[in-house]
Amino acid sequence: MGAAGLSTTEMVLNIGPQHPATHGVLRIKITADGERIRAAEPIVGYMHRGAEKLFEVRDYRQIMMLANRHDWLSAFSNEIGVALSAESLMDIEVPERATWARTLLSELNRVLNHLMFLGSYPLELGAITPIFYAFREREQLQTVMEEISGGRMHYMIAQIGGLRHDLPPGWLDRVDDAVAQVRGRLPDLESLLVSNEILRARTVGVGVLSKDTARAYGVSGPIARASGVDLDLRRDEPYLAYGELFAPGGPGRVVTRTAGDAHARLEVLLEQVQVSLDLVTACTEKLRSLPEGPINVRLPKIVKVPAGSHYFATENPLGFNGYYLVSRGEKVPWRLKLRSASFNNVQVLTELLPGTVVADMVAILGSMFFVVGDVDK
């Protein structure tokens, strides 16, 4: 009997829930016909801790501690979102030195985020070596982040009105030195990734996400740009010092690809690391040229945000991160709704996985670059 005469029975398989040491506690229910996936349903919520309700019973200083944890790879960027939202309603003008220092820290945090995925993604495909190279560069940059903040993952240096304290003496020089060392060694990591024949065979043409589907599902960040969506809030709706950095002739540029496959998403991350290192260097040069002055705005012991509402979005390492803040003039927000990037990046798997084979599922899943805590909040 020919292959056309074979009868098969569809199977429903549960992929996960996985241990947090992988992508987090995510479950994907797939319907498979042999090795071909016919349907996929991401089931989220296993790490849900009610962060948005916790925001409503804590003052604005305490919220910082909670907000930097939903995407633990983008902690500083998360802090900045809360601070900028509150500052908009309070009509606070942050000192220029604080603005440039915040931008510098945001871009260092972006590089740390991307290096984690550049190392862990090949690991999921069976390549062990790249993660050691990626973590070598992460440690180089973590050292300067730890020096200024005291933290290695949850920095807690941003606050409403600026930064918690000034830059340590000689810190800018150490940042430049770390950036130079990382930049000099990045070709080693790149050669293990985009030039690797086995990795290319597992990623080129795999998990193709079209531009229209990315837009329909609200996918943002590196994943959307790998599908040709030329959108970056740092350029299109500038905040912090990005208006100057992304101005014509500036070091900022938006990295895009058109293939939309797993390999394109990896390429975007690699090139964005280079761009962010350029932005860090521009920030250190600017900070050296600025006169001495305050790094924050003095605030009362109890911070109360005037009544009103405001939505503010930032270009986090994984995509759009938005805060919708509603205040009734009290020391705690009446409502603080979080729009995280990872949620949309996971939901689009319902469109991406059907039609692919089970063996490619891990290659696709890992290339979507999400943090499950950022999905569940």
CATH number at residue 152: 1.10.645.10
Task: Annotate 246-297 with DSSP letters as a single string.
Answer: TSTTSS------SS-SHHHHHHHHHHHHHHHHHHHHHHHHHHHHSPS--SB-
CA–CA dist 244, 12 (Å, integer): 52
C-beta pairs of 132-140 under 8 Å, 24+ apart in sequence: 133/185, 133/188, 133/189, 133/192, 134/189, 136/185, 137/182, 137/185, 137/186, 137/189, 138/112, 140/178, 140/181, 140/182
> Coil, helix or strand for 154?
coil
Range of the domain at 154: 5-376
Torsion on CA atoms 107, 304, 327, 323, rounded to nearest 10: 10
Peptide bond into 17 cis (omega under 30): yes
Structure token pair of residue 137: 């560069």
- 263-278 tens-digit pLDDT: 999 999 999 999 999 9
CA–CA dist 267, 200 (Å, integer): 11
Residue 23 above 60 pLDDT?
A: no
* Span 344-352, average pLDDT: 92
What does residue 107 show for φ and ψ, rounded to 5 degrees? -75, -35
**Nearest Cα to Cα of residue 322 among 88, 25, 65:** 88
**pLDDT for the residue numbered 5:** 61
Confidence at 138, pLDDT banded by 50, 70, 90: very high
Q: Which helix (H) or strand (E) holds 24?
A: none
Confidence at 145, pLDDT banded by 50, 70, 90: very high
Residue 300 above 70 pLDDT?
A: yes
Q: How many CB atoms neighbour CB 319 within 10 A?
A: 31
DSSP code for 166: P
Give percent of the chain with pLDDT exceeding 90: 67
Residue 3 above 90 pLDDT?
A: no
**pLDDT for the residue numbered 135:** 93
- What residues contact residue 363 under an 8 Å CB cut-off, 6+ apart? 124, 125, 202, 203, 206, 207, 262
Within 125-237, residue ranges assigned H as helices are: 129-149, 171-193, 197-203, 211-216, 221-226, 233-236
Task: Give Cα 208 distance to the centre of its chain.
Answer: 21
- 216-265 tens-digit pLDDT: 999 999 999 999 999 999 999 999 999 999 999 999 999 999 999 999 99
With b for 16 or more beta-carbon neighbours within 10 A and e for fewer, the 19-53 pattern comes to eeebbbbbebebebeeeebeebebebebbeeebee
**What is the bridge-based pairing of β-strands 36-43 and 27-33?**
antiparallel
Confidence at 2, pLDDT banded by 50, 70, 90: very low
Q: Between 291 and 25, name the one with better pLDDT.
A: 291
CA–CA dist 75, 66 (Å, integer): 10
* Span 180-204, average pLDDT: 91
Residue 1 above 60 pLDDT?
A: no
**pLDDT for the residue numbered 71:** 85
Q: How many CB atoms neighbour CB 107 within 10 A?
A: 30
DSSP code for 357: B
CA–CA dist 191, 206 (Å, integer): 20
Confidence at 170, pLDDT banded by 50, 70, 90: very high
- Stretch among 17-26, 72-81, 94-103, 175-184 having the lowest mean pLDDT: 17-26
For the chain, the domain total comes to: 1
pTM for the full predicted model: 0.92
- What residues contact residue 197 under an 8 Å CB cut-off, 6+ apart? none
Structure token pair of residue 195: 């030039």
Give percent of the chain with pLDDT exceeding 70: 96
Contact between 242 and 232 (Cβ < 8 Å) = no
Whose tokens are 């925001």? That residue is 55
**Nearest Cα to Cα of residue 310 among 292, 324, 329, 328:** 324
Peptide bond into 169 cis (omega under 30): no
* Span 55-62, average pLDDT: 89
Structure token pair of residue 95: 């000192």
- Amino acid making up residue 83: A
